[in-house]
Amino acid sequence: MKIKPALLTLSLLLILAAGCGRPPSFLPTTPAAAQPLAAASATAPAAQPPSAEAPQDKAEILKGIQRSLDLLAQAYNERNGELLQQAVDQDNPPFRRLLKTQFDDYMKSYYAGQVTFRYRVLDIEQQANGTALAQIEAFGWLRGDWLFRWNGSAWVLTEPTVEELGEKQTREDEQFIFEFYPYMGETNERVIELVERAAARVKAKLGRLPEEKAVVRIKPNYGIDPYADPNALAYFQRGNDKKPDRIELFAPFSYTFGLYDPQEGWEKDLEDTITHEYTHMTHLRAFGSAGKMMDWFGEGLAEYTADSQRVREVGDALRQGTLIPILDTSGQVYKQDLMHLYILEKDVSLAYAEAQALILFIIDRYGSLDKVWELARAHDEIQDFDQALRRTFGIGYQEFDKAWRAWMAARY
């Protein structure tokens, strides 16, 4: 799966906020601020009207939402779960649990107390059912689109209930069976377009696509898939004889979509993520999971097709001597190396960056992706990295590793 870029996950946000800088954006896209938020409201089913005292005046609503945002920030800054409850809709059980879990996880994390949370409401779109979709700014620069509901005394952070999403619709094209909900209105079309563009990118980079169709579900809330990792914008789930492969993704304009960089806009974030996830499926179905014994291989490939900017993370690690080795030769049981990327205890984002750098290095040094597949197949057969390298490139691990590091040092 694609872990969210370090800069956008709640936990790692702090590193960024602390001033490490973020990768520059290369695609000049319209800031999300300029985009209409009317989509969701157009077809939102009329649920029960808000309680009679709900303020209708926009300025009043903005004030009420800001009050809840301040409470939410204060809850995090002062480690006060009581305030969290006041800011979050307590009548929406899956959402309430999600926010509580995120809060508790954060408080247990290394980062707790190291950054100052602050949120600002920028604008709202009043929905037909009385809720308000707010465009918010987080940490002074990130954007989010969060839903607020009048609970009788305050505008609390919420998400639509499963019932409010409307009946699931499906549509098929050559590669995908899309599942989506009327609640998202026109936004579904935009997401479907992004998925199709992502597939075209995978094909352009890898040369072929799976023959099997994937089910792609566009989820407008967390309640519809309450076992999903809320920190992953999308994930790929391998199917079997009875069930097709699935790509599950959170719709934009939802809390679970996460925060995004307004300079890039949410579209790029989502398209890159789908490109990453669909690469996993393509790797599995069209390339027989070649290289599957090397954990780094599939993630490196997925970051490569998605043109991830994460690869830049290798620069600092290289200079600080904290690069994760390809092979951990220390002899410990739980190896901390790229070959065992999925059991790494820390620096997972860096591991993805290094995996991408490995793929890019091989392509750059040996001319094409063919050599990448050759290495993968050699490793499948020999199950020894040093020997697979010797067969593919005519050099052993030490020499390969040295050349890879020098290649990175010259670039990042």
Least CB distance to Zn ion at residue 194 (A): 18
The rounded distance, in Å, linking the Cα atoms of 91 and 307 is: 41
Residue 322 makes CB contacts below 8 A (sequence gap 6+) with: 347, 350
Q: Which stretch, 19-27, 141-149, 192-200, 297-305, contacts Zn ion (CB under 5 A)?
A: 297-305
CB nearer to Zn ion: pick between 39 and 372: 372
The rounded distance, in Å, linking the Cα atoms of 208 and 278 is: 12
| Category of 376 on φ-ψ map: left (φ > 0), alpha (ψ -120 to 50) or beta | alpha
- Is residue 4 at the binding interface for Zn ion, with CB under 5 A as the rule? no
CB nearer to Zn ion: pick between 2 and 217: 2
Please choose, from the candidates 282, 37, 2, the residue with its C-alpha nearest in 3D space to the C-alpha of residue 135.
37
- Is residue 1 at the binding interface for Zn ion, with CB under 5 A as the rule? yes
Site size toward Zn ion (CB under 5 A) is 4
Least CB distance to Zn ion at residue 184 (A): 25
CB nearer to Zn ion: pick between 181 and 235: 235
Please choose, from the candidates 309, 290, 295, the residue with its C-alpha nearest in 3D space to the C-alpha of residue 208.
290
CB nearer to Zn ion: pick between 83 and 350: 350
Are the C-beta atoms of 149 and 130 separated by less than 8 Å?
yes
- Is residue 344 at the binding interface for Zn ion, with CB under 5 A as the rule? no
- Is residue 310 at the binding interface for Zn ion, with CB under 5 A as the rule? no
Q: Which stretch, 47-55, 60-68, 101-109, 298-306, contacts Zn ion (CB under 5 A)?
A: 298-306
Q: Name which of residues 38 to 77 contact Zn ion (CB under 5 A).
A: none
Least CB distance to Zn ion at residue 236 (A): 7
Q: Which stretch, 152-160, 171-179, 182-190, 302-310, contacts Zn ion (CB under 5 A)?
A: 302-310
Q: Quick one: three-class SS letters along 129-175? A: CCCEEEEEEECCCEEEEEEEEECCCCEEEECCCCHHHCCCEEEECCC
Least CB distance to Zn ion at residue 352 (A): 8
- Is residue 96 at the binding interface for Zn ion, with CB under 5 A as the rule? no
- Residue 288: CB atoms within 10 Å: 12
User: What is the layout of strands, in order, in the sheet containing 176-180?
Assistant: 169-172, 176-180, 214-219, 246-250, 234-237
Give me the residues paired with residue 216 across strands.
178, 247
Please choose, from the candidates 166, 171, 152, the residue with its C-alpha nearest in 3D space to the C-alpha of residue 42.
166
- Is residue 286 at the binding interface for Zn ion, with CB under 5 A as the rule? no
- Is residue 219 at the binding interface for Zn ion, with CB under 5 A as the rule? no
Please state the length of the chain.
412
Least CB distance to Zn ion at residue 279 (A): 8
CB nearer to Zn ion: pick between 149 and 280: 280
Least CB distance to Zn ion at residue 146 (A): 27
Please report how many Cα atoms fall inside a 13 Å half-sphere around the Cα of residue 16, on the Cβ side: 20
Report angle CA 265, 269, 275 to the nearest 5 degrees. 140
Are the C-beta atoms of 185 and 44 separated by less than 8 Å?
yes
CB nearer to Zn ion: pick between 4 and 149: 4
- Is residue 217 at the binding interface for Zn ion, with CB under 5 A as the rule? no
For Zn ion, the binding residue among 2, 219, 283, 310 (CB under 5 A) is: 2
CB nearer to Zn ion: pick between 119 and 278: 278
Are the C-beta atoms of 130 and 164 separated by less than 8 Å?
no
- Is residue 348 at the binding interface for Zn ion, with CB under 5 A as the rule? no
The rounded distance, in Å, linking the Cα atoms of 90 and 114 is: 28
CB nearer to Zn ion: pick between 2 and 219: 2
- Is residue 379 at the binding interface for Zn ion, with CB under 5 A as the rule? no
CB nearer to Zn ion: pick between 96 and 283: 283
Least CB distance to Zn ion at residue 202 (A): 13
Residue nearest to Zn ion according to CB distances in the complex: 1
CB nearer to Zn ion: pick between 145 and 277: 277
Please choose, from the candidates 123, 155, 154, 116, the residue with its C-alpha nearest in 3D space to the C-alpha of residue 137.
123
Q: Which residues bind Zn ion (CB under 5 A)?
A: 1-2, 299, 302
